[in-house]
Chains A and B, each alone.
Chain A
Amino acid sequence: MPVPDMFKQGLARGWKTHDGSRLDADLTLEADVAIVGSGAGGGTTAEILSAAGFKVLLIEEGPLKTSDDFKMLEAEAYASLYQEGIGRMSKDGAITIMQGRAVGGTTLINWTSSFRTPDPTLQHWAREHGVIGHSAAEMAPWFERMEQRLGVAPWAMPPNANNQVIRSGCEKLGYQWHVIPRNVRGCWNLGYCGLGCPTNAKQSMLVTTIPATLDKGGELLYLARAERLLLDGERVSGIECLGMDARSVAPNGRKIRVKAKHYVLAGGGINTPGILLRSKAPDPHQRTGKRTFLHLVNFSAALFEQVINPFYGAPQSIYSDHFQWDDGTAGRLSYKLEVPPLQPALTATLLGRFGIDNALRMEQLPNTNVMLALLRDGFHPDSAEGTVELRNDGSPVLDYRMTDYSWDGVRRAFHSMAEIQFAAGAKAVLPLHADAGYVKTLDEARRLIDNLSLEIYRTRLGSAHVMGGCAMGEDPRQAVTDSLGRHHQLTNLSIHDGSLFPTSIGANPQLSIYGLTAQLATQLAERLRHA
């Protein structure tokens, strides 16, 4: 039975949308609140404000793609749904950065893992970064609300064999492991969350908060880049948007002027600092774009006798936090262990090398497991961090510099992953580094990993979580916004996205963004009502 495309049905009912690639003339749009970005932060904020009676306009740079468009094919999905056509990287090209760019933002292409912000992270923010009002107790009701809204629950089906490796290995070693809560309803267990959910089971913004906003008379402008905020003293007076071509690659010459009473930036880490920098927003302490974190990821592959078929089944269902807090909150760099889904195009670039070497590795894909470590960056003064800058064409890029402290975390993560993979029965393990080959025993792996020259390019590094760059906090010398997400210098501007986080989270960040922005948007609605 074909899956009904609920978004198309809504459009047929008369939802108001504007396609920036198909405008006959320049356009002016007005709203009570204009929100830049339609991902976790923008979608959540839009639903809450429109339910409170405000007219909301959502602005999205990427295209509108809905369930009928999601064919589970990598080439199409990467080109249309990811930032820079999946070409986004750190400035030096060493770290692949996977971020969404379509209506629904990264929630359209994430792997559905949904964790509350860990308590130690919230405590660290209060203690070190002047954040108030976001303790675990204060946040709990907001997480609960969004968990209910988005169907977040621990995955009830058995994990696929790729995830099972974490469980088996950790059980053998006496390490802790847990089932991952996912934001799905009626999931088919296909494994293609990263390419757009073809069954509308994933509770992304595309099928939840954005439809709710449009049902309340909100409007959606897509294929339009918010180029700059127009400033009038301490206030934002408008947003200048550029119509984009249908690929969302180049502006098409059309302009859209947006006027609102209040403005919310929700373009995520990299893009939100980017628009502030392009707009030359006041930044007396040079905080915009600073302290941007990535949950830097390194990978370890393993071969098994049995079939793993790592391209099928819910991509992430088991994790281990055994090492996450092993040296306290701000000690040596620690990590969360998970697995990625392994469709072939992305996998070929992860497994490394070329010619015969890569071909042999790819040939064994059905028997391959890959594990990943999310390194919890930003808690220690020596941690690697990034700074958002503008390229000559005004587009933002992240300059992320590795440090010895961070490489030490990468090396320990290689050790932990190999240990768990062998304990789970792997017959060979391959740390994903240019100088490594598959090795057959843990002893060999230990020697190999200890001797790897850890440096950029030789070590395969990635990130799917950009956090920080517009930190919240009460001290304007440290933070871009206050703890309510209000810009310290511009009175009618808020930031509601992952760029608010003063450090990385220590868990896949989507639920942290939902919970935080639900709280901030509710408080914003209160303030606007009394304004």
Chain B
Amino acid sequence: MHNTAIDAPHLSRRKLLKVGLLGSALLATAGLTASLSGCSASTPKAGFRVIRESDLPFLQALIPAMLDGAVVPARMAQAVSGTLESLDYSLNHLSPELRGLTVQLFDVLAMPLTRGPLTGVWGSWQKASAGEVRAFLERWQNSSIGLLQMGHASLLQLVLMSWYSRAESWAHCGYPGPPSV
């Protein structure tokens, strides 16, 4: 077994179960609140097809942590905006069901009500340190809640795939690019 759940690694099984239920309840609440309150306005930000203004604080905290080591600090801002552009393109081509799940995931991460308890990041994403972002990702990877583990896997795949599909990422991984035909 891996250490699971929210914070304390030595939670009893009973507590763990509670956390699991709480987590699922929070996820459900977030989805519901988001759709009722219109807080997750479905309008994409100008220049994007799917990504909304409300998604940006989280994504702008997440992407530098993911690309740390692959991008030099001086180029990180550019890499983040390139990754966002590619991510938006991918999201716009996913099936409606998968895009919906991803947007819901972004809602859960954006709304203070769910963000704190589920991610351990209690302040805003703008103020989160790289260490806090890494801790959140580790916590989801080792969570007992399947949905959070799935969320962790999706975030990794979406961001890494978006970055490494871009030509400016290829020097780092020694890929000369496709040959000419």
Q: Which A positions have Cβ atoms within 8 angstroms of B? A: 3, 71-75, 78-80, 84-85, 87-89, 92-94, 96, 188, 190, 192, 198-199, 247, 249-250, 311-312, 343-349, 352-360, 362-366, 391, 393, 395, 397, 434, 453, 456-458
Contacts and interface: CB of A to CB of B under 8 A. Distances in A.
Given A79-B93, A93-B150, A349-B156, A344 B141 contact: no
B161 A346 contact: yes
Nearest to B95: A84
A387 to B, nearest CB: 17
Given A72-B178, A79-B89, A457-B149, A358 B160 contact: yes
13 contacts: A88-B95, A94-B150, A249-B92, A249-B94, A312-B179, A345-B164, A346-B161, A354-B65, A358-B160, A359-B70, A395-B96, A457-B150, A458-B141
Q: Which of A79, A199, A458 has the most CB of B within 10 A?
A: A79
B28 interface: no
A226 to B, nearest CB: 16
B128 interface: no
A86 to B, nearest CB: 8
A413 B65 CA distance: 33
Contacts of A93: 150, 153-154
A457 B153 contact: yes
Contacts of A85: 90, 93-95, 98
B13 interface: no
B70 A362 contact: yes
A94 to B, nearest CB: 8
A513 B93 CA distance: 28
A188 B178 CA distance: 13
B8 interface: no
Given A188-B181, A192-B178, A247-B93, A355 B172 contact: no
Contacts of A247: 92-93
Interface of B: 1-2, 65-70, 86, 89-90, 92-98, 134, 137, 141, 146, 149-150, 152-154, 156-157, 159-166, 169-170, 172-175, 178-179, 181
Contact of B93 (A74, A80, A88, A364): A80
Contacts of B161: 74, 78, 345-346, 348-349
Nearest to A392: B97
For the complex of A and B, the 10 pairs showing the least CB-CB separation, nearest first, are A359-B69, A72-B178, A85-B93, A79-B93, A356-B69, A75-B165, A359-B70, A84-B95, A93-B150, A348-B160
Given A345-B164, A453-B2, A457-B153, A358 B70 contact: yes
A84 B174 contact: no
B9 to A, nearest CB: 16
B164 A348 contact: yes
Q: Which of A73, A87, A192, A456 has the most CB of B within 10 A?
A: A87
A249 B164 contact: no
Given A84-B94, A93-B153, A348-B160, A457 B181 contact: no
Contacts of B178: 71-73, 190, 192
Contacts of B153: 93-94, 457
A80 B150 CA distance: 24
Contact of A355 (B96, B97, B134, B149): B134
A168 B100 CA distance: 46
B51 to A, nearest CB: 15
A87 B156 contact: no
Contacts of B67: 355, 359
A291 to B, nearest CB: 24
A365 B156 contact: no
A313 to B, nearest CB: 11
A94 B149 CA distance: 9
Given A75-B90, A365-B174, 19 more contacts: A75-B86, A75-B162, A79-B92, A96-B157, A192-B178, A247-B92, A250-B96, A345-B160, A347-B173, A354-B156, A354-B160, A356-B69, A358-B69, A362-B70, A362-B173, A366-B174, A391-B97, A393-B96, A457-B153
B64 to A, nearest CB: 9
A85 B169 CA distance: 22
A190 B181 contact: yes
Q: Which of B96, B160, B179 has the most CB of A within 10 A?
A: B160
A359 B172 contact: yes
Given A85-B94, A93-B154, A249-B93, A354 B66 contact: yes
A239 B92 CA distance: 28
B181 A3 contact: yes
A349 B160 contact: yes
A89 B101 CA distance: 13
A376 to B, nearest CB: 25
Contacts of A343: 175
B173 A365 contact: yes
B141 A457 contact: yes
Q: Which of B69, B90, B95 has the most CB of A within 10 A?
A: B95
A362 B90 CA distance: 21
B23 to A, nearest CB: 15
A295 B173 CA distance: 30
A527 B120 CA distance: 66
Given A349-B161, A355-B66, A359-B68, A249 B141 contact: no
A345 B152 CA distance: 18
